[in-house]
Chains A and B, each alone.
Chain A
Amino acid sequence: MDALMLTIIATSIPLLLAATGELITEKSGVLNLGVEGMMLSGAVGALGAVLWLGNPYFGIIAGGLCGVLMASIFSIFTINFMTNQVATGLGLTIFATGLTGLAGAPLVGKTVPSLPKIEIFLLSDIPFVGEILFKQDFIAYLSVAIIIFITYFLKYSKSGIVLRAVGDDHQSAHSVGYPVKKIRWYATCFGGMCAGIGGAYIPLVLTPHWSEGMTAGRGWIALALVVFASWIPWRIIVGALIFGGITIAQLVGQARGWPIPSQILSMMPYLATIVALTMISGRISKSNSVVPASLGKPFFDTQ
């Protein structure tokens, strides 16, 4: 049983990280649909760094940096040149898919040591729970730390409140003197870093090799998770675990021969996402405060 729990957690972590990053980006009013592309570049960067430098921890740093690099490209276009965010985000994913294919070509067929598990003293000896919660790798702990941090950040810190203000009404934020563009740059780059590390988790822990397009659509799920969580950080954990849980449950169901067609089981995670989206959108119409009001709108500071 705990082997299955571990599998669920492992499969959830890339989603969790990428969604958390995107949440911050969207809270600042930027809709970056390039998550898939940023994850891919994180994955290829991480694997390249580990092959080159030998230590899997450099992979995390490299993955994060590659994500930031991609996010910067997106920021230049959408924030400085005020291009359409949806189109630019889609473009970023397509661009990154090609670029990572090119950059990753020499990495094909190579494998790397995966990230070691870190046992937390004494806690890891607790039966069942210890194995699952306190015997994880560095990125798993990091992702929980990031969630806790941004929960605090958005709710209690001044910078967090400014970030939300920028996302809700960039003109007002601008008129009281906050640097809207700079804040959006930071938020987008943070999103890129998280997506990059999330992508890095795939070659560093899940399947230690590079193959083109290996994220296989997880960036899009991460985008859906942000909406599923209605922009509330802790709900991303829940959403990611539900998604991971259903994914694994359908595999277990097949292995055990549950009499449910595998296609229906394969469809379950997506169905769950749509149901959640519908429920949330019903609620949004009642209280309008969930979605950042300036989400996806370009900001012109000359006005």
Chain B
Amino acid sequence: MLKFCMRIFSLFALGASVLFFIFNSAFAGTPTKVGFVYLTTPGDHGWTYAHELGKQMVEKRFGNDVKISVVENVPEGPDATRVIRELAKQGNEIIFTTSFGYMEPTLKVAKEFPNVKFEHITGYKRSKNVATGNIRFYEGRYIQGVVAGLMTKTNKIGYIAAYPIAEVIMGINSFAQGLRSVNKDASISVIWANTWYDPVKEADAAKVHIAEGADILAQHTDSPAMLQIAEKKGVLGFGQSTDMSAFAPKAQLFASINNWGPYYIRKIEELKSGKWNTGDGPNHWAGNDWGGLKAEMLLISKFQNMPDSVAKKAQEALDGLKSGKINIFAGPLVDNTGKEIIPAGKSLDDGALFRMNYYLKGVNGKVPG
């Protein structure tokens, strides 16, 4: 009898402990609801794909502690407002809006949902519950400039750019600074595609650059089309946003890779521990988080298709930028018409970078508009 009672008791205990475990894991912490808004789909193999990789890192890090909703293909404008509002209504606690054009929609919805945290990517306007995050993409372009300057034979660099906004212009100027640090004779000519994404047009622009004598190509557009043309025509170039060496194994010198994952993870952790904040106040131009190579928000893929001596110089530039030894926009800076931007001893601050509307020395032509 006693034995029987013991058995019942142990069964009971076992059942209770199982139940306890189930409940415990279910209610230990209710998962944090996280929303993402994508401009295109991860299928672009560029900008949005990089965000997708970041999202996957979040999933891996938090597992069941987060519940992620993603909305793809959201046009910038009124549609974005609707999508962001819907995500907020569904109870997402933090919403990442991953394109510059979501700036106003994000702010608008943030006002309606003061308890939801918003993270606008690449913007500069913030409010009580809107923080901004961005990557110092231009740092990678400095290294591109160094490599281009050492690798070019024709001294002509072809650059394909999307829209003449500060973000893109500072990239071109940073490239020029890198270029001129090793090669004073080379110059950059820029073709504005006036689109982020049109593979055929990007390919056409690459062909035109090559026909005009460029032997190194760089891009600030989203598709791998430029590198494919470079591969076909036997010239060299740089990948954008993600490692594109699969498309151009013989042409890609290296790619600057956008690494959003650590940023997302940190912000979600801050939210969970109640430490989430919007940083240093509205005058801090680039927002509270503008990380580059040092913060490892920008990564550099393997240096390839270049002699060891060039790779060594590239590595030096990379190390210099990480340690802060190289200051890309340190004076004296002169624009390409000869006008002084700042004298020796000073350097451009973040605000000045976001006001750039001129080309530095080493770039041909002038900024449209």
Contact = CB atoms under 8 A, between A and B. Distances in A.
Contact of A206 (B194, B197, B203, B211): B203
Given A3-B211, A101-B43, A109-B246, A214 B200 contact: yes
A213 B196 CA distance: 13
Contact of A111 (B41, B192, B198, B228): B228
Interface string B207-247: 11111101000000001110011001000000000000011
A255 B199 contact: no
A122 interface: no
Contact of B194 (A3, A210, A217, A266): A266
Contacts of B158: 255
A261 B368 contact: yes
A263 interface: yes
A252 interface: yes
Contact of A212 (B43, B202, B210, B364): B43
B194 A257 contact: no
Given A111-B247, A251-B205, A254-B191, A211 B200 contact: no
A217 B199 CA distance: 11
A108 interface: yes
A218 B203 CA distance: 14
Interface string A157-178: 0000000000000000000000
Interface in A176-222: 202, 206-218
Contact of B192 (A7, A101, A207, A254): A254
A286 interface: no
A126 interface: no
Contacts of B40: 212-213
Given A211-B199, A216-B200, A263 B44 contact: no
B195 A108 contact: no
Contact of B201 (A111, A211, A216): A216
Interface in B33-51: 40-45, 49
B190 interface: yes
A259 to B, nearest CB: 8
A217 B158 CA distance: 25
B104 interface: no
A236 B119 CA distance: 49
A108 B228 CA distance: 14
A6 B262 CA distance: 46
Contacts of A110: 246
A247 B229 CA distance: 17
Contacts of B49: 108
> Interface of chain A, helix or strand or loop or mixed?
helix
A209 B200 contact: no
A207 B225 contact: yes
A108 B43 contact: yes
Contacts of B200: 11, 14, 202, 206-207, 214-216, 218
A101 B200 CA distance: 18
Contacts of A266: 192, 194
A212 B44 contact: yes
B369 interface: yes
Contacts of B368: 261-263
B199 A206 contact: yes
Given A216-B200, A263-B369, A255 B228 contact: no
B204 interface: yes
A120 to B, nearest CB: 21
A130 interface: no
A252 B198 CA distance: 17
Contacts of A144: none
B301 interface: no
B189 interface: yes
B365 interface: yes
B207 A7 contact: yes
A248 interface: yes
A91 interface: no
Nearest to B207: A7
B41 A212 contact: yes
Interface string A101-138: 10011001111001000000000000000000000000
Given A206-B200, A212-B41, A254-B191, 10 more contacts: A11-B200, A108-B42, A209-B199, A209-B225, A211-B197, A247-B201, A252-B208, A257-B189, A263-B194, A266-B192
The 8 closest A-B pairs by CB, nearest first: A3-B211, A207-B225, A216-B198, A257-B365, A262-B192, A251-B208, A212-B43, A7-B207
16 contacts: A10-B207, A104-B43, A108-B49, A111-B247, A206-B200, A209-B225, A209-B247, A212-B43, A214-B200, A214-B223, A218-B200, A251-B204, A251-B208, A261-B368, A262-B191, A263-B369
